[in-house]
Structure 1
Amino acid sequence: MSSSCGGGKHDSLDESRMDSGIDSYQSMYKSEEPRNVSSDFSGPRDKFLSVDERLDSAYGSTSLTVESLGEIVKSCSISPPDPEAPQEEENPLTTITEDGDTMLHLAIIHEDENIAQQLIDIFPKEVLDIQNDLYQSPLHLAVYLDQPEVVRSLVESGASLDLQDRDGNTALHVACQHGQTQCVSHMTRDLSTTKLAPVLETHNWRGLACLHLAALFGQHEVFKLLRKKGAELNIQDGTSGKTPLHFAVELHDVALVTLLLSWGVNVDAAMFNGCTPLHLAVGRQDAHIANLLCQSGADKMLRNMEDETPLDLADGNDDILALFPFDDIHISGRSVVGVNY
């Protein structure tokens, strides 16, 4: 069997085979070693060091603490520069650390939401959108550290949803991956479908849009939220052309497959190599999902670029073969034509 569409004759996937790619996608996100909270947002928050232990991008040799942040906010304010005024000491609120962090970045990293809210009220939109050396905006940090009220305030104050971090992820990508439905809700609540569409269609540097990450990590509630906002459920990833349905099939996520099919997604969507979700289900020997796809009208005769139909990938699996009504298919010497399963 070809390696282009699934497991087939081999139960265990060899990493040297490109297969359908689902394992390599997940390993990209799950195998990364935790570093500091300001430089790695690829895994769950509990992977990282505690607030007291971590060395984020602002500390270096400074003695900045949560308490000193509060004192700085109380003693400083933003005001237009007066060219005739004598040179004064630099305002800490307007400084950026050597690693590109503003005071707002630091307040969010320290998880001091009160200070963060005060700074959001003080700073103009341009400052809210400053990205540090890792291209993380305050909104990225607030989403990753699951601070929905800070996210809400940032969005209401005009923080951009378009900014991408060093991995190409927008803040919405991060929220979709981690299933942070409150953050997703705050970021999408007041946006029209027209304004939200470009963000949802943005691919990160791995070719994944928000819904692809939601599918990869089984975030069903995210799908429900974004569907209500008019998200394109058949969006293809930029690497292989998979839709969220392809990902759900590969992950054997019956609940998500059922949900997507109930919403009328394209059951015959083809990857760049021509493989449909049915090719993947059959290639991975998943008779249950293959049956769901067939019941939803999947075309059993479509061929991929290697000229294979889903039937060619069945590899003698009787449960799957029973889905294909050809008069030359027999199970235990009995034709499957006309048999109800």
Structure 2
Amino acid sequence: MASDDCRKDDLLEDNRTDSGIDSYRSILKSEEPREPSADLIGPRDKISTGEERLDSAYGSSSITVESLSEIVGGCTLSSAKEEQAQSSELSEQEENLLTTITEDGDTILHLAIIHEDEFIAQQLIQLFPKEVLDIQNNLYQSPLHLATYLNLTDVVKSLVEKSSSLGLQDQEGNTALHVACQHGQIECATEMTREVSPSKLAPILETQNWRGLACLHLAALNRQYQIMKLLVKKGADLNIQEGTSGKTALHLAVELHDVTSVKLLLSRGANVDAAMFNGCTPLHLAVGRQDAAIANLLCQSGADTMLRNMEDETALDLADGNDDILALFPFDDIQISGRSVVSVKF
């Protein structure tokens, strides 16, 4: 177990964009490290998703919309190309913004998003280079994660347009697209997938969080039908297996007794006979849960009633005398312990 925790920590470190400022200080040519701004120290408003805060768990900050506006002030990039050409160095105020990191790893952009100040956030997105846009705080949340949590669609769109990374994973292994799938943020998910090439999107769709769940699994678990349709349209593998037991989205939908998801997945071509690591098919799960309606759907879609799991059981072996379930199987297929008890021949 300890080795698993160590491996997870290693993965987090490998996938995290440096939340310090060393990686871009050399660009700014700053000689001395800067302390966090005084405006960032003190009590901080709590923003919670239920279990975790969205920002990071440090004591907190008295940042307000007004103080954010003062911090940003007139620090905007010149739109005149000739002015940009004349000076490649940032102003001191711009440099201060770039090098301000709170004790919990938040940039001012993180804070602007947490306060849902979209105007300030948009200004900062235009100001900051990609390296800063991809900084993760101490919960490994990038600005894109936070904007998605808060369903700030326009901010998500701007971050994506500035090439903010879609592949960064938070402390639970979730990418921003995972977050959208879990919380039903269809507009955010649409923006994150709109202009991304299939070759670049495929690895994101295949990424598993630390529970082994890909985006499609999370959408199925949370009955997010619109997002499921979007993911399939964008090329998500319908039969991708989650990492702990090998369930596909269809297995998960069957476990939830979610007829709508089962129909959706089957209509899109999900493998009705996909096997978990233990050999159980969706039909095994449906019959084992005494769900005649879903078992019937699976049978109508061509489920093989004679497939055996690693316990050498067919789905029929799990029927446990349920007449509604038994009625789904051909009479001459009835077996006990793998042996046919009735053989009808004409």
TM-score, L = length of structure 1: 0.77
Q: Does 1:166 align with 2:171?
A: yes
Partner of 2:73: 74
Query: Given that residues 77 and 93 in structure 1 are in contact (C-alpha distance below 8 angstroms), is that contact kept between their aligned partners in structure 2?
Result: no
Q: Tell me how far apart the structure 2 counterparts of residues 234 and 321 of structure 1 sit (CA, whole Å).
A: 28
Q: Does 1:181 align with 2:186?
A: yes
By relative contact order (CA 8 Å, sep 6+), the higher-ranking structure is 1
Query: Given that residues 139 and 171 in structure 2 are in contact (C-alpha distance below 8 angstroms), is that contact kept between their aligned partners in structure 1?
Result: yes
Query: Match for 1:72: what amino acid?
Result: I
Distance 1:308 1:88, change over 3 A: closer
Query: Given that residues 58 and 97 in structure 1 are in contact (C-alpha distance below 8 angstroms), is that contact kept between their aligned partners in structure 2?
Result: no
Partner of 2:129: 124
Q: 2:225 aligns with which of 220, 227, 231?
A: 220
Q: 1:311 aligns with which of 313, 316, 334?
A: 316
Query: Match for 1:200: what amino acid?
Result: L
Aligned positions of 1:90-239 closer than 5 A = 91-239=96-244
Distance 1:227 1:149, change over 3 A: same
Query: Given that residues 58 and 104 in structure 2 are in contact (C-alpha distance below 8 angstroms), is that contact kept between their aligned partners in structure 1?
Result: no
Query: Match for 2:72: what amino acid?
Result: V
| 1:242-285 Cα shifts (integer Å, max 9, x gaps) | 00000011101101101111111100000000000000000000
- Give the % identical residues: 75
Q: 1:301 aligns with which of 303, 306, 309?
A: 306
Q: Tell me how far apart the structure 2 counterparts of residues 182 and 117 of structure 1 sit (CA, whole Å).
A: 18
- How much has 1:326 moved relative to structure 2? 2.7
Aligned positions of 1:30-45 closer than 5 A = 36-37=46-47, 41=49, 43=50
TM-score, L = length of structure 2: 0.76
Q: Aligned with 2:332: secondary structure?
A: coil
Query: Given that residues 58 and 101 in structure 1 are in contact (C-alpha distance below 8 angstroms), is that contact kept between their aligned partners in structure 2?
Result: no
| 1:194-239 Cα shifts (integer Å, max 9, x gaps) | 1110000000000000000000000010011111111111110000
Query: Given that residues 193 and 234 in structure 2 are in contact (C-alpha distance below 8 angstroms), is that contact kept between their aligned partners in structure 1?
Result: yes
Paired residues in the alignment total 286
Query: Match for 2:62: what amino acid?
Result: S
Unaligned runs of 5+ in 2: 1-44, 78-86, 336-341
Distance 1:118 1:234, change over 3 A: same
- How much has 1:63 moved relative to structure 2? 3.3
Higher helix content, 1 or 2: 2
Distance 1:216 1:55, change over 3 A: closer
RMSD (Å) for aligned C-alpha atoms: 2.8
Distance 1:237 1:98, change over 3 A: same
Q: Tell me how far apart the structure 2 counterparts of residues 117 and 250 of structure 1 sit (CA, whole Å).
A: 42
Query: Given that residues 173 and 209 in structure 2 are in contact (C-alpha distance below 8 angstroms), is that contact kept between their aligned partners in structure 1?
Result: yes
Unaligned runs of 5+ in 1: 1-34, 49-53
